[in-house]
Amino acid sequence: MERTAVSDSPEDTARLGEELAARLRCGDVVALVGDLGAGKTTFVQGMARGLFVSEAVLSPSYVLARRYDGRLPLHHLDAYRIGEPRELIEAGLREVLPSEDGITVVEWADRVAELLPSATVWVELTLLEGERRRIAITAPA
């Protein structure tokens, strides 16, 4: 499945994340790719809303991973500061790639692509002019 949408605002981007999250199941991994400011964290905030997470989702850039509890646990990883993919493994994160009990979403996922399951849902966010973003979601058949 491939779907491309144009987002005109942060709320649009969050809504796309919310819609995707509603269709996810335990063990699903979502990989986010896009430049700084493209809207990856905004998309995760929408996913959290779709999973009925009540806590505020922050950018995890200064920690490798956070866990939020909702309809399913949401494991939010950020590979921005990762030098080598194995650092994620050394940090004990193999067990959420995939997670047995919840959903995993990874920002800067292209940096750790080799660690992600083949069934990963890829979301590519591209900065257009102003507040516009192109968001392409590719899910395995």
Ligand X SMILES: Nc1ncnc2c1ncn2[C@@H]1O[C@H](COP(=O)(O)OP(=O)(O)O)[C@@H](O)[C@H]1O
The least CB distance from residue 42 to ligand X, in Å, is 3
The least CB distance from residue 59 to Mg ion, in Å, is 5
The least CB distance from residue 41 to Mg ion, in Å, is 3
59 binds ligand X (CB under 6 A): yes
60 binds ligand X (CB under 6 A): no
Which DSSP string corresponds to the chain?
A: -EEEEEE-SHHHHHHHHHHHHHT--TT-EEEEE--TTSSHHHHHHHHHHHTT--SPPPP-TTSSEEEEESSSEEEEEE-TT-SSTHHHHHTTGGGBTTBSSSEEEEETGGGGGGGS-TTPEEEEEEE-STT-EEEEEE---
Segment interacting with ligand X, rule: CB under 6 A, options 18-26, 39-47, 83-91, 116-124: 39-47
Q: Are 135 and 13 in contact (CB under 8 A)?
A: yes
Segment interacting with ligand X, rule: CB under 6 A, options 6-14, 22-30, 89-97, 115-123: 6-14
Rg (CA), the chain: 14
49 binds ligand X (CB under 6 A): no
Which chain residues interact with Mg ion by CB under 5 A?
40-41, 59, 107
77 binds ligand X (CB under 6 A): no
List interacting residues with ligand X (CB under 6 A).
7, 9-10, 12-13, 34, 36-42, 59, 107, 131, 133
